[in-house]
Chains A and B, each alone.
Chain A
Amino acid sequence: MNLDFTPVWQGWRELAYGALVTIEVTSASLLLGCILGLLVGIARLDPRRKLVYGVATGYVTFIRGTPLLVQLFLLFFGLPQFNILLPAFVCGVLGLGIYSGAYVSEIVRGAIQSIDRGQMEAARSLGMSHGKAMRIIILPQAVVRMIPPLGNEFIALIKNSALVSLLTIADLMHEGQKIISISYRSLEVYLAVAFVYLMLTSLTGFLLQRAELRLRAGGVVQ
């Protein structure tokens, strides 16, 4: 067996460009996922608001119970039947964002519910409305607790984003496949692609760890 990494060196520009697209897709998706997740997580706090709770729970159940690839294809190949033609990049971000929103919503809900009940009681006792207590007392504390699991979600999203290559988005995976189609060096190129993913996830993990340490040092977390 002889390994020949020449195609990887020759294609490093494409791979770097692909990695950049992967970062773009993932970041945009996580942003969308966080916004969705915050709304859905809050909607799922109180089962007594039946409609809001029902819709939010339906969304989470569907997303978590079906393959991401099917969800992406529904957007990319399904929507055109209604004459909704979205650019591939938009489909990818939308699909990944909607997907990660379901997981982020569970993180949000868990973090809010982990805040001691006495915090809400103390805020309400002062005369704050539920919404105001949420905004200035509960959420600021909950957000700090969301950071470690959100970091894991971000890392999972980087890896899952490889699927958007199937929507013709020129991400890291897609660029790798392009190099393979010319060079037929699957093992070497996929190894290189895996290595770049590993760099991206490790770097993200490292940065998040530093952010968390800083928050602890600042006295925001006990």
Chain B
Amino acid sequence: MTAAAPIVAARDLVKSFGAHRVLHEVSFSVAPSQVVVVIGPSGSGKSTLLRCCNALEVPEDGTLTVCGTDLVRNGTLIPERELNALRMQVGMVFQSFNLFPHLTVLDNVSVGPRSLRRMPRAEAEALARDLLGKVGLAQKAEAYPATLSGGQKQRVAIARALAMQPRVMLFDEPTSALDPELVGEVLQVMKGLAREGMTMIVVTHEMGFAREVADVVMVMDGGRIIEEGPPEQIFGAPRNPRTRSFLQAVIARD
């Protein structure tokens, strides 16, 4: 661990849906510029854990500190205004893109800074064009989302999140809804972000990405983090037998 204060720190997070406990006292922390990749079988609680980090799910117990603010303290969420301010610092990318279909690509990216940071239109659009260039979609600024491929949509979604100039980015299986030939272009953008030092938490089944980019790989099973370590250790010499069987299953599938 580096000496700098963590960007995300979770202690003993508990989350249930009805009687079904999905997270069992989960603790972890993410240092600035770290890339944490979360892997594990379906239903193990990866999405739920990630969605707790910007309070799309609210843990019923535990404490979660994000960007130095207690988002959840002992199961209590911070007030609405502070929550909204904190969410501006946390970018989120969804499996299903969730672009705004009634807005052009340019408006999708600039709507956040314009409506939340009161950035003048010209400035917000310049920022948006800049970010669209960065994800390789400068020429699509005037298009509507419905006309884009899956890979293009996801790159726009990344640009939209970046437009808020977040301190950490959350990715929930960003390439799982894509045709195989479109996965690479999205991973490429994410690798670029990692190189620039963006702090990232990525839920993914792309083991190649995890090996190459992750600083830490967290393995989840049954609502717990069962193993955590650098990719060489997790993929080379996993200690937990369930990690081993999960990785075997993934390798067999690929």
Contacts and interface: CB of A to CB of B under 8 A. Distances in A.
A122 B38 CA distance: 21
Contacts of B146: 219, 222
B88 A126 contact: yes
Contact of B98 (A116, A141, A144): A116
A122 B98 contact: yes
B92 A125 contact: yes
Given A121-B56, A136-B111, A222 B164 contact: no
Given A121-B56, A222-B101, A127 B88 contact: yes
Given A126-B116, A127-B87, A127-B88, A141 B94 contact: no
How many of chain A's residues touch chain B, expressed as a range? Answer: 20 to 34
A126 B112 contact: yes
A170 B92 CA distance: 59
Interface in B31-89: 54, 56, 80, 84-88
Contact of B115 (A121, A128, A141, A220): A128
Contacts of A141: 100-102
**Residue from A123, A124, A126, A144 having most chain B Cβ neighbours under 10 A:** A126
B96 interface: yes
A58 interface: no
Contacts of B101: 141, 222
A122 B115 contact: no
Contacts of A140: 102
Given A121-B56, A121-B94, A136-B111, A126 B160 contact: yes
A127 B112 contact: yes
Contact of A121 (B91, B98, B160): B98
Contact of B85 (A123, A127, A132): A127
Nearest to B144: A219
A118 interface: yes
A128 B83 CA distance: 10
A132 B160 CA distance: 17
Contacts of A127: 84-88, 112, 116, 164
B173 to A, nearest CB: 13
B87 A125 contact: yes
B94 A128 contact: no
A127 B81 CA distance: 9
How many of chain B's residues touch chain A, expressed as a range? Answer: 20 to 34
Nearest to B163: A126
B90 interface: yes
A144 B102 CA distance: 10
A28 interface: no
Nearest to B113: A126
A185 B80 CA distance: 68
Interface in B142-164: 144, 146, 157, 160-161, 164
Interface string A110-132: 00000010110111111111001
A126 B98 contact: no
Contacts of A137: 100
A136 B56 contact: no
**Residue from B80, B94, B99, B100 having most chain A Cβ neighbours under 10 A:** B100
Contacts of A123: 100
Contacts of B157: 122
Nearest to B112: A126
B116 A122 contact: no
**Residue from A123, A125, A220 having most chain B Cβ neighbours under 10 A:** A125
B64 to A, nearest CB: 16
**Residue from A122, A124, A141 having most chain B Cβ neighbours under 10 A:** A122
A185 to B, nearest CB: 53
A122 B51 CA distance: 12
A144 B94 CA distance: 25
A121 B90 CA distance: 13
A119 B100 contact: yes
A144 B100 CA distance: 14
Interface of B: 54, 56, 80, 84-88, 90-92, 94, 96, 98-102, 111-112, 115-116, 144, 146, 157, 160-161, 164
11 contacts: A116-B98, A121-B92, A122-B157, A126-B111, A126-B112, A126-B161, A127-B87, A127-B116, A128-B115, A132-B115, A136-B111
Given A121-B98, A140-B102, 5 more contacts: A118-B98, A123-B100, A125-B56, A127-B164, A129-B80
